[in-house]
Chains A and B, each alone.
Chain A
Amino acid sequence: MKIGLFIPCYIDAFYPKTGIATLELLEKLGQEVEYPMDQTCCGQPMANSGCNRDAKETEALFIRNFSKYDVIVSPSGSCVHHIRDNFDAIEQTDEVRHVRKNTYELVEFIHDVLKVREFPWAEFPHKVGMHNSCATLRALRTASMSELGEPFFSKPKTLLSAVKGISFAAPKRPDECCGFGGTYSVTEEAVSARMGLDKVTDHHDAGAEYIVSADTSCMMHQQGCAERNGVPIRFIHIAEILNGARS
């Protein structure tokens, strides 16, 4: 199985550590991984703004970069959601269908495909608050949703539970949206930032030292809100903890 690694633009530019951790973790788990150098974006920003036509060329480039791989893995739930559920600005050829069907978010890939539950190198002696992005929660379904009253499950928490020394905070509104929402974060910046502040405050009040998530975009927004308002909480991508980061 040859894996194509998709590192979305904002991780590439602002959070390279997350990309490196994802690559190293997959290598530690014995996988053959390649990062196609000509990749840019999945087209989500344009599609989410209604400008689906403007996503066409970007989606085509994505297919040129990734169609040769058996699976595509990305440490970003919202991008995977776009590829899997909305990637329709281009013609749906066999190649496109192959890519859409075989693109996985990192946590679901480890949990569902590799079925790995042990990370003997990982130790994180901190109390963390889990942030499930709305894309991983309600679109990729990697955790149970409070609105449906379904029995509790959480793939990211199942993986993190194998990490030595980790403990979990219990925020009051665990699956309330943090307000990022892609371009929403700038078109409705006041509401977006208020939601972000409420989110980080909820985690901080619950005793979390770190917010951990499978979506860096949510955390980029939350970190901005926490820093501006002096909420003392840190942020880390789940890939970094599973790869053995201690802080």
Chain B
Amino acid sequence: MSNKPVPHAKLAAEFLKDEPHRHFHDERLWDMRQKRDEQMHIMPEWQELREQASRLKEHTLAHLPQYLEQFEENARRNGIHVHWARDGAEHNRIVEKILRDHGHSSIIKSKSMITDECEMREYLEPKGISVTETDLGERIQQLDNQLPSHVVVPAVQKLTSDVAKTFAKYYNTDPNIDDPHALAEAQRNAARPVLLSGDTGMTGGNFLVAETGSFVVCTNEGNADLSANLPNLHIATLGIERLVPRMADLGVFIRLLSRSALGSPITQYTTHFRKPKKGGEMHVILVDNGRSERLGMDDFWTSLKCIRCGACMNTCPVYRRSGGQSYGSVYSGPIGAIIDPTFNAKKFSTLPFASTMNGSCTNVCPVKIDIHDQLYKWRRVLAERHEIPFVKREIMKMAGRLLAQPTMYRLAISGTEVALKTMPRFVLYNYLNPWGKHRELPHPVKETFHSWYKKNRLNKAKQHEETQA
């Protein structure tokens, strides 16, 4: 993985240049946020559910080893093979070994962010194992060789005309037909033979249930069920934080998940996997990849409560105008900005600064993660580790000194007034002035409040005293 900080500001500026994409992206995601609001309004118990979900997750995380062992024991009893992966590399080796043991070489896979996090395709494909994404959005991203833009709608930054061009290249369809139904049909026609011939099915999973040793996959396209059920071998990869203690707890999360994500009451398919089908084999790989380390971080452990609904992305005014690709990570938007630095603090050092700290993300989060407070805390951590640009550090040092000395400060801002009044426009708005690139500067004024107050309150009071005397 390259360590170079992701140039979020630059990538976002590029995304904004194209009017149709910019406009569609903002409106589409804002529409999802509004549909989420509608669902919230018809459920008087919404805030209570959020509170319950948060408490359940915090309880589970506080007793994680115990519940993980309970899950493992029950899953094994159900006939599921359970594997533990310390990191992405170990996960990928486990998948490879399972396939080699069966003499398999092709995977049909439904959407799962965690296999992207493990960079599984990049590992398996050079070894002659093909991986075909069966989720429409994830497949589009795979064909274009891009990371998912959004955890729920991976290709949301694209217009149907972009998809038509991509499909034309790989599926020989007409590049000018961008009707969504025709595109979905093209994907279906291309995917079905692969689904029927694939020898291994892979899915992610939304929840692990400790008490039953089962796991739950929530999808809308039905591709996960085909991927899991057509082949005889099913491998599911889940992060260790995906646990809930009891079956009864699931209802809280199922009710929140799709309402928060898409504003629909429930996903089209909510599939419970409990044991392998007759004659089949089922494997669950539980991935740590930095999660247990994060669990030990006082300020950031609650980010493990995330159920990947994407509501924080939909509401985020910065994400809506930057596009998911500008985050350079599998996880983008506000949740990405607080968990990505736990994977690589240097590479993702720019992301906690890709926020106005408006706090809308925290308010929509169904498990009540204090996302914007964590963004604020990450900024401190990164500044202290010197993971912010040198120039910014120096400017802040200077600002801190100047603002601590009233006399120097007064001198400095009297300069600002003169500058605004007398400098030619091209000096004020040159390329070094990022404020002025897309905005006008404030207007110069005759006097500061400070000097007005001196004249109109202090001096008058003095005159008054003198006349009295």
Contacts and interface: CB of A to CB of B under 8 A. Distances in A.
A226 to B, nearest CB: 8
A interface secondary structure, majority: helix
A221 B353 contact: no
Interface stretch (B84-92, B180-188, B204-212, B313-321): B313-321
Interface stretch (B103-111, B289-297, B380-388): B380-388
A192 B454 CA distance: 36
B114 interface: no
A223 B441 CA distance: 9
B317 A57 contact: no
A16 B445 contact: yes
A181 B99 CA distance: 50
B142 interface: no
A107 interface: no
A191 B457 CA distance: 42
Contacts of A53: 384, 400
B46 interface: yes
A41 interface: yes
B271 interface: no
B448 A13 contact: yes
Interface in A182-199: 183-198
Interface size class of A (residues with CB under 8 A): 35 or more
A148 B363 contact: yes
B9 A38 contact: no
B358 A177 contact: yes
Interface string B292-319: 0000000000000000000000010110
B448 A12 contact: yes
A51 B393 contact: yes
A189 B409 contact: no
Contacts of B435: 185-186, 189, 224
B49 interface: no
B356 interface: yes
B449 A134 contact: no
A13 B439 contact: no
A220 interface: yes
Contacts of B343: none
B357 A48 contact: yes
A190 B9 contact: yes
Contacts of B393: 51
A115 interface: no
Given A49-B396, A58-B400, A184 B439 contact: no
B417 A13 contact: yes
B232 interface: no
Interface stretch (A116-124, A138-146, A152-160, A205-213): A138-146
B317 A14 contact: no
A50 B439 contact: no
Interface in B419-462: 434-435, 437-443, 445, 447-450, 452-454, 457-458
Nearest to A227: B440
19 contacts: A12-B448, A15-B442, A46-B396, A48-B379, A49-B379, A51-B396, A53-B384, A61-B404, A134-B356, A134-B357, A179-B318, A187-B353, A187-B392, A190-B13, A190-B438, A191-B12, A224-B441, A224-B442, A225-B438
Q: Which 7 A-B pairs have the closest CB atoms?
A: A181-B356, A50-B383, A50-B379, A54-B400, A224-B439, A57-B404, A193-B438
Interface of A: 7, 9-16, 19-20, 23, 35, 37-41, 43, 45-46, 48-58, 60-61, 86, 134, 138-139, 145-149, 173, 175-177, 179-181, 183-198, 220-221, 223-225, 227-228
Interface of B: 8-9, 12-13, 16, 22, 26, 30, 37, 40-41, 46-47, 315, 317-318, 321-322, 352-360, 362-364, 376, 378-384, 388, 392-393, 396-397, 399-401, 403-404, 406, 409, 413, 416-417, 434-435, 437-443, 445, 447-450, 452-454, 457-458
Given A51-B396, A57-B404, A188-B8, 5 more contacts: A49-B379, A49-B383, A184-B353, A189-B437, A227-B439
